[in-house]
Structure 1
């Protein structure tokens, strides 16, 4: 069985927009969600800026019960539940009846580190002989699968409900895993996505590695500079993105709107061999992942029209462009349009792939390709491979055809998914 899979719902909780409408407006206009954080300055961070969704306290009441809100101290859970619930609603789906789960619907919702603030709070209580004050929801906020468990209970999904975790490749990997389950006839619908906590206990390790920009604390919106000659490191971010994947037959039967079709994808690892390491991708594996994704999708490399890259604003951006060029065998004006979301939201870590997939899919709905912020000074190694016209600085009118979205993560892991404008065959 190899059923067609489409996207019927989107949800987003991003630094530059909570909710689809707000996020779309920010992406359209190139509005950044990166801001200065006094907390980071007080803690002596070199990089004192970050991308963090702004959540009004009252808004949480629309997503959580009063019992769930009691002691809720996990930003990742908040972001993920909001994005996942919104995607379900956007797809026109209802929550399952209280007496029986929806056996045809499942969840694969990933994360990197979940509930670290709750864990810190719990450690403090335990160390001070106050373990009994932990509360009934401390476990579910700190277990890795807490986000899928929360969403599974809220929506009543009775199919596979689980959490994946593959560093920065998590969100894109989850889309592929959900697609494969529906393709195989094991589910009709899968809510897929990913989230990541925010705050100094998440971002501190990266600051210590000196891979975050430290010279933009007074000018945060100019700090995230993917593909730029003046890039000086990635800006840490957080949030969540979510998508409802559905079998085409189910979507057509209930008259659902369709954002795009998921044609295929591939997941692999460079094994930390060759030039690959814990923090650097193996170029051979990256190219192999791209080519295997195209093969799985039944697409020729000459057909790729738009790329949404990983492109983190580090020295590896030029290497990534070279990998795309060599894998596709395309250069100059023949290179696909390429953009990256990180110039506006920073690097949302485990949430990055899903946030960027939502941005990519919105381009189909609106018939455009979002621009790239902060790369007016394109890296010379990139310009040697790609004509500048293929890297739009502002949003352009262009309905995407075949689109490749890739993510590469710590541990030398890769994921690439192929989307297409939905067409009846």
Structure 2
């Protein structure tokens, strides 16, 4: 079986917008969601700014029962459930409390960690010999698959229910795994996405690695600077993104809105060989991933209108551009537009790919290219690789047909998805 796979629902819980409408408006206007974080300052973090979704208790209570909220202490699960359920509703699908599961629908919803604050709370209880006071919610909030389990229970999903975890490639990978499930006829609908916890216990390790910027604590919105000559490290972020993938046959049968189509993609690893390490990409693997994604999608490099890059505001940005250039083998003047959402939301770790895929689908469906902010002083090295016009710093309104989205993660792992504007 070889089903066409389309996107019929979007949901997002991002630092610069926790509804689809807010998020769309923010990315079009280059609005940052990066803020000063008093807790990071109090803990003497080098980087005291971060991107964190702003949610009211009232908003959260719309997605969880009072019993669930009583002991809920996992920001990643909260973000994931909100994005996931919003995507489901956006697809025009109902949430019903039926006795029978929906055997044709499932979820692959990724995470890097789960319930790290809950886990710390539990450790303190054990250290204080209060193990009997842990309660019954510790396991479901700290198990890696907690987010997909919560979502599945709320939607009654009866097909594959899994949580994938591939560092910063998690979100893009979840979409490709869900795509394959539908393409091969094993499912009709799949909710794909990923989430990432917020707070010092998830961000502290990166601060200790000295990969986060420390130069913009006094001006948070200027801190995340992908492709900038003055980029000095990434700004940590958090949140979740979700997409409903569905067979074209099913979407047409129920007259669903179709945002775009997944043409294919590729997932690979550099094996931490050559120039690849636990934290650095193997350029050969990155280039192979991009080339294989194009081949799998059945398109030529010249057909790509926009690249939504990984581009984290580190020294690896120029290497990523060089890898795209080598993989696509296009003349400089034909290089596509390329942008990075991380200037507005920071690096949302495991959630980065899914949030950025939501932004990519909005670009495709609405016909715009969001601006790259904070790179007015474009990297000198990047200028030698591609024309400056390929890196728009203001909103561009124009039709887009094909968009390539890639994510590269710790462990030397890569994922590249090819999206296309839907045509019958």
Normalised TM-score (structure 2): 0.99
Secondary structure at the counterpart of residue 18 of structure 1 = coil
Q: 2:376 aligns to what? A: 376
Shift of 1:228: 0.6
Contact 1:333/1:389 (CA < 8 Å) preserved in 2? no
Q: 2:33 aligns to what? A: 33
- Tell me, in whole angstroms, the C-alpha distance in 2 between the residues paired with 1:65 and 1:112: 25
Q: 1:243 aligns to what? A: 243
Q: 2:192 aligns to what? A: 192
Q: 2:118 aligns to what? A: 118
Shift of 1:333: 2.4
Q: 1:222 aligns to what? A: 222
Contact 1:224/1:234 (CA < 8 Å) preserved in 2? yes
What is the aligned residue count? Answer: 424
- Tell me, in whole angstroms, the C-alpha distance in 2 between the residues paired with 1:290 and 1:215: 33
- Tell me, in whole angstroms, the C-alpha distance in 2 between the residues paired with 1:344 and 1:7: 24
Residue 57 in structure 1 maps to residue 68 in structure 2? no
Q: 2:359 aligns to what? A: 359
Shift of 1:306: 0.6
Which deviates further from its counterpart, 148-157 or 397-406? Answer: 397-406
**Root mean square deviation of aligned Cα:** 0.7
Residue 327 in structure 1 maps to residue 316 in structure 2? no
Q: 1:423 aligns to what? A: 423
- Tell me, in whole angstroms, the C-alpha distance in 1 between the residues paired with 2:293 and 2:27: 26
Which deviates further from its counterpart, 124-133 or 73-82? Answer: 124-133
Shift of 1:332: 2.5
Shift of 1:331: 4.1
Shift of 1:374: 0.4
- Tell me, in whole angstroms, the C-alpha distance in 1 between the residues paired with 2:366 and 2:95: 28
- Tell me, in whole angstroms, the C-alpha distance in 2 between the residues paired with 1:371 and 1:386: 17
Q: How does 1:228-307 map to 2 (within 5 A)?
A: 228-307=228-307
Secondary structure at the counterpart of residue 141 of structure 2 = helix
Which deviates further from its counterpart, 382-391 or 146-155? Answer: 382-391
Secondary structure at the counterpart of residue 407 of structure 2 = strand
Q: Deviations over 1:261-285 (max 9, x none)?
A: 0000100000000000000000000
Unaligned runs of 5+ in 1: none
Shift of 1:96: 4.2
Shift of 1:210: 0.9
Shift of 1:126: 1.2
- Tell me, in whole angstroms, the C-alpha distance in 1 between the residues paired with 2:157 and 2:19: 22
Q: How does 1:386-401 map to 2 (within 5 A)?
A: 386-401=386-401
Q: Deviations over 1:134-168 (max 9, x none)?
A: 12211100000000000000000000001000000
- Tell me, in whole angstroms, the C-alpha distance in 2 between the residues paired with 1:399 and 1:150: 37
Unaligned runs of 5+ in 2: none
- Tell me, in whole angstroms, the C-alpha distance in 2 between the residues paired with 1:119 and 1:149: 17
- Tell me, in whole angstroms, the C-alpha distance in 1 between the residues paired with 2:184 and 2:143: 29
- Tell me, in whole angstroms, the C-alpha distance in 2 between the residues paired with 1:123 and 1:163: 24
Shift of 1:218: 0.2
Secondary structure at the counterpart of residue 382 of structure 1 = helix
Normalised TM-score (structure 1): 0.99
- Tell me, in whole angstroms, the C-alpha distance in 1 between the residues paired with 2:55 and 2:330: 42
